[in-house]
Amino acid sequence: MSALVIVASVGLFVDGRELLRQSIWAKPLKFGVSFVMYGATLAWLIPKLHRARRTMWTVGTLFAVAGLLDVGFVAVQAARGTFSHFNAGTDTFNQIGQQIFATGVFGLFGASLIVAIMLLFQRIGDAALTWALRAGLGLAVLGMALASFITGWTSSAGPRTVQDAYGSPVPLVGGHGVGAPDGGGMPITNWSSTGGDLRVPHFIGLHSIQVFVLTVLVLAALAPRIGHLRHERTRAQLTGVVIVGYGALFAITAWQALRGQSLIHPDAATWSALAATAVLTALLAALAVTAAHRTELAHRTELARRAEAASRSELVRRGKAAHRNGLAPGETTTPAGSRETDPHLDAAITPARPSGSTPTRWG
Q: What is the pLDDT of residue 348?
A: 46
Task: Report how far apart, in Å, the C-alpha atoms of 35 and of each of 32, 208, 292 are.
Answer: 5, 13, 37
Q: What is the pLDDT of residue 150?
A: 56
Query: Of all helices (H) and strands (E), which one includes residue 161?
Result: strand 160-163
CB 274 within 8 A of CB 266: yes
Q: What is the pLDDT of residue 337?
A: 47
- Give the separation between CA 175 and CA 19, rounded to whole angstroms: 14
At residue 300, what is the residue type?
A: R
Q: What is the pLDDT of residue 196?
A: 87
Q: What is the pTM of this model?
A: 0.76
Burial per residue of 183-219, b for 16 or more beta-carbon CB atoms within 10 angstroms, e otherwise? bebeeeebbbebbbbbbbbbbbbbbbbbbbbebbeeb
Q: Model confidence over 116-139: pLDDT tens digits?
A: 999 888 888 889 999 999 999 999
- Give the separation between CA 51 and CA 146, rounded to whole angstroms: 29
Q: Model confidence over 47-71: pLDDT tens digits?
A: 988 888 899 999 999 999 999 999 9
- Give the separation between CA 220 and CA 230, rounded to whole angstroms: 8
Q: What share of the chain is helix, strand, coil (3-state, %, to 5)?
A: 65, 5, 30
- Give the separation between CA 229 and CA 288, rounded to whole angstroms: 10
At residue 224, what is the residue type?
A: P
* Residues sharing a CB contact under 8 Å with residue 201, sequence separation 6 or more, in sequence order: 143, 146, 250, 251, 253, 254, 257
* Residues sharing a CB contact under 8 Å with residue 169, sequence separation 6 or more, in sequence order: 161, 162, 163
Q: What is the pLDDT of residue 330?
A: 52
Q: What is the pLDDT of residue 157?
A: 54
- Where do the H-state alpha helices sit in 15-91? 26-45, 53-79
CB 146 within 8 A of CB 254: yes
Q: What is the pLDDT of residue 345?
A: 44
Q: What angle do CA 25, 31, 37 make, to 5 degrees?
A: 135
Tens of pLDDT along the chain (363 residues) come to 999 999 999 999 999 999 988 899 999 999 999 999 999 999 999 998 888 889 999 999 999 999 999 999 999 999 999 999 888 888 899 999 988 888 888 889 899 999 999 988 888 888 999 999 999 999 999 998 887 655 555 545 567 888 999 999 999 887 777 877 776 678 878 888 888 888 899 999 999 999 999 999 999 999 888 877 888 888 999 999 999 999 999 999 999 988 989 999 999 999 999 999 999 999 999 999 888 878 777 767 877 788 878 888 878 888 777 777 765 555 555 454 444 444 554 444 445 555 444 444 443
Q: What is the pLDDT of residue 149?
A: 55
Q: What is the pLDDT of residue 136?
A: 93
CB 109 within 8 A of CB 189: no
Closest CA to 139 of 206, 236, 212, 239: 206
